[in-house]
Amino acid sequence: MSKWNSVAILGVGLIGGSIGLALRRGGLADHVTGIGRSQSRLRNARKQGAVTSTTTAVARGVADAELVIVCTPVDHIVDHVRQVAAACRPGTLITDVGSTKERIVAELAGSLPRGVRFVGSHPMAGSEQVGCEHARPDLFAGRVVAVTPRGADRSGAASRIADFWTSLGAEVIRLAPRVHDRAVASTSHLPHVVASALAATLAEKDQPLAATGWRDTTRIAAGDVEMWKQILLDNRGHVLKSIDKFEKVLDSLRLALEQENERRLTRILQAGKTNRDALGS
Amino acid sequence: MSKWNSVAILGVGLIGGSIGLALRRGGLADHVTGIGRSQSRLRNARKQGAVTSTTTAVARGVADAELVIVCTPVDHIVDHVRQVAAACRPGTLITDVGSTKERIVAELAGSLPRGVRFVGSHPMAGSEQVGCEHARPDLFAGRVVAVTPRGADRSGAASRIADFWTSLGAEVIRLAPRVHDRAVASTSHLPHVVASALAATLAEKDQPLAATGWRDTTRIAAGDVEMWKQILLDNRGHVLKSIDKFEKVLDSLRLALEQENERRLTRILQAGKTNRDALGS
């Protein structure tokens, strides 16, 4: 007895594919429909067992779905949720996996047909890899997923979306969209900006001396450029504030080094170590 | 038939312990003497099989050594090399594993007893972990080790030190000390500064949302604070220049984001991705 009779996934890349694999391998859904533009990518998703049927037509793909997960880039999510909502049955739950939430949730608020519910999600999983070929059924195991309802959850939709992620092994945190965007600006978008700037700074002649430290620190700079550009633009205000905070700390470290102020240098290095140690490896 | 009859290691932490393990497991040295201040740490190194005998007296430890590797913090290396050189036999080779080379090599130049040779080394291995308990015989396998002779290698000492590292599985790059320090400022010390500043920027309330990206980007900030403070101070000039270069790129990225200049934003993110992709995972 599965939890869901029919689930639809719009966009079967790393995240969408991993959701499909987790649903199917976990026996959580009888039917998983993959929806996308590319026939070959949909075929691959079916071959991998991430979906049980595929279509390029959004309306057909969501017609019977009880749950639809929109896994497309942040600048397309609002349009896609509207398309899904216009075609699905009343009672259908819709969520997304976008890295930003404030604008998406605000634009969709109050604009969906009666009986169709959208609650935003953001799984803190994924990597610098892209594409369904890297999908894994355990991608969400032990990972945090933010669920971002707007205001009180009177319909219970946010609880059902939270249950969905919990069933994939994730740990759910419920946050207001604005609080989410401010927090991920600091924990996810700022690291991307810093890693990209650091990677871009490397001179070719120094490459042979780039060891583990450089590799770890710049790993996420290998992420998809178009996707990250959209995320950063979408969360521009919060990201700019995070960059300013970071630059203040960096300037302070730079000054301590310039002035050979050992106590101040120790204090900043120790603050970083304390925060890092608190998170574990 | 071993390569070395007797090798001494001054300082049996992660690096010194790993050298000992590699020498012993590889059958490369009959006797490996561990020299240090702490009896309990020396005992542990012997239990692990990293050394065959131990002493807290530098003079006794190096009396029979053909090769001595000084694995102490950068601000102690010059003193330790002098102590070793004063006590060892003519013909003994000495190297170190310090992360900076210019000052160390310059201070030692021309000041050692006749027949004793020092050539600086810097293995690009190690991690945020410290202590002999994390030592591994394969720590140097496939890793780059910089060997930094001062001028021409008339005595052949640099070649012999290079051979030593090659026998541990490392890939040796020969560099002038100044060229080395400028390069590692950018590939190793700048990443540490950036990772520390990024980790120090995190607010406690945002910790639950720190995912893989944050963890990768800040991993090296967990490194030993005292050790890193000394390295940064020792290579201050080059590190300050590297920070300036990085801040220019970051400012340019910040401005592109502020002005919603998509083309410029793409260009910087793509430059980072290209450099990162060139290095592999």
**Position A211 confidence tier, pLDDT thresholds 50, 70, 90:** confident
Helices (H), chain A: 14-25, 39-48, 58-62, 77-87, 102-108, 157-167, 177-184, 190-201, 212-218, 225-234, 236-258, 262-279
Q: Please report the pLDDT score of residue A2 as a whole number.
A: 64
A76-91: burial string, b at 16+ Cβ within 10 Å, e else = bbbebbbbbbebbeee
Where exactly are the structural domains of chain A?
Answer: 4-175, 180-279
**Position B151 confidence tier, pLDDT thresholds 50, 70, 90:** confident
Average pLDDT over residues A130-144: 93
Least-confidence region, from A3-17, A42-56, B113-127, B260-274: B113-127
Does the CB of A194 have a partner CB in chain B at under 8 Å? yes
Å between A281 CA and nearest CA of chain B: 7
Does the CB of A40 have a partner CB in chain B at under 8 Å? no
Q: Please report the pLDDT score of residue B129 as a whole number.
A: 75
Does the CB of A111 have a partner CB in chain B at under 8 Å? no
pLDDT > 70: what percent of chain A? 99
The HSE-up count of residue B232 (CA atoms within 13 Å, CB side) is 32
On chain A, the residues whose CB falls within 8 A of the CB of B250 are: 193-194, 197, 243, 247
Q: Which of B184, B202, B269 sits opposite A228 (nearest CB)?
A: B269
Å between A207 CA and nearest CA of chain B: 8
Q: Please report the pLDDT score of residue A127 as a whole number.
A: 65
State both tokens at A256. Answer: 């301590």
Q: Which CATH superfamily is domain A180-279 in?
A: 6-phosphogluconate dehydrogenase C-terminal like domain (1.10.3660.10)
pLDDT tens-digit profile of B211-232? Answer: 889 999 999 999 999 999 999 9
Q: Please report the pLDDT score of residue A128 as a whole number.
A: 66
**Position A100 confidence tier, pLDDT thresholds 50, 70, 90:** very high
Q: Please report the pLDDT score of residue B155 as a whole number.
A: 86
**Position B281 confidence tier, pLDDT thresholds 50, 70, 90:** confident
Å between A62 CA and nearest CA of chain B: 31
Q: Please report the pLDDT score of residue B153 as a whole number.
A: 81
Cβ distance A261 to B220 under 8 Å?
Answer: no
B1: pLDDT strictly greater than 60:
no
Q: What is the CATH number of domain B4-175?
A: 3.40.50.720
Asked if A247's CB is within 8 angstroms of B250's CB, the reply is yes
A1: pLDDT strictly greater than 60:
no
State both tokens at B147. Answer: 């060997």
Instruction: Return d(Cα A244, Cα B257) in angstroms, integer.
Output: 13
Asked if A218's CB is within 8 angstroms of B202's CB, the reply is no
State both tokens at B239. Answer: 């590190």
Average pLDDT over residues B135-148: 96
Does the CB of B201 have a partner CB in chain A at under 8 Å? yes
**Position A131 confidence tier, pLDDT thresholds 50, 70, 90:** confident
State both tokens at B90. Answer: 């003519």
pLDDT tens-digit profile of B88-139? Answer: 999 999 999 999 999 999 999 989 999 999 999 999 987 667 889 999 999 9
Asked if A273's CB is within 8 angstroms of B222's CB, the reply is yes
Q: Which of A183, A209, A233 sits opposite B183 (nearest CB)?
A: A209
Does the CB of A257 have a partner CB in chain B at under 8 Å? yes
Interface test with B, best of A250, A260, A277 (most B CBs within 10 A): A250
**Position B238 confidence tier, pLDDT thresholds 50, 70, 90:** very high
On chain A, the residues whose CB falls within 8 A of the CB of B279 are: 207, 210, 214-215, 218
Q: Which of A236, A17, A212 is nearest to A126 (CA)?
A: A17
Asked if B219's CB is within 8 angstroms of A281's CB, the reply is yes
pTM of the shown model: 0.89
The contacts of residue B232 (CB under 8 Å, 6+ apart) are A257, A265, B189, B192, B193, B239
The per-residue pLDDT of chain B, averaged, comes to 95
Instruction: Return d(Cα B130, Cα B125) in angstroms, integer.
Output: 12
A180-279 shares the fold of A4-175: no
The backbone torsions φ and ψ at residue A55, rounded to the nearest 5 degrees and listed phi first, read: -160, 155
Least-confidence region, from A125-129, B153-157, B174-178: A125-129
Q: Please report the pLDDT score of residue B128 as a whole number.
A: 65
Q: A-B interface: how many C-beta pairs under 8 angstroms? A: 287
Q: Please report the pLDDT score of residue A170 as a whole number.
A: 97
Å between A131 CA and nearest CA of chain B: 17
B70: pLDDT strictly greater than 70:
yes
State the complex-level ipTM: 0.89
On chain B, the residues whose CB falls within 8 A of the CB of A203 are: 186
Average pLDDT over residues B204-214: 91
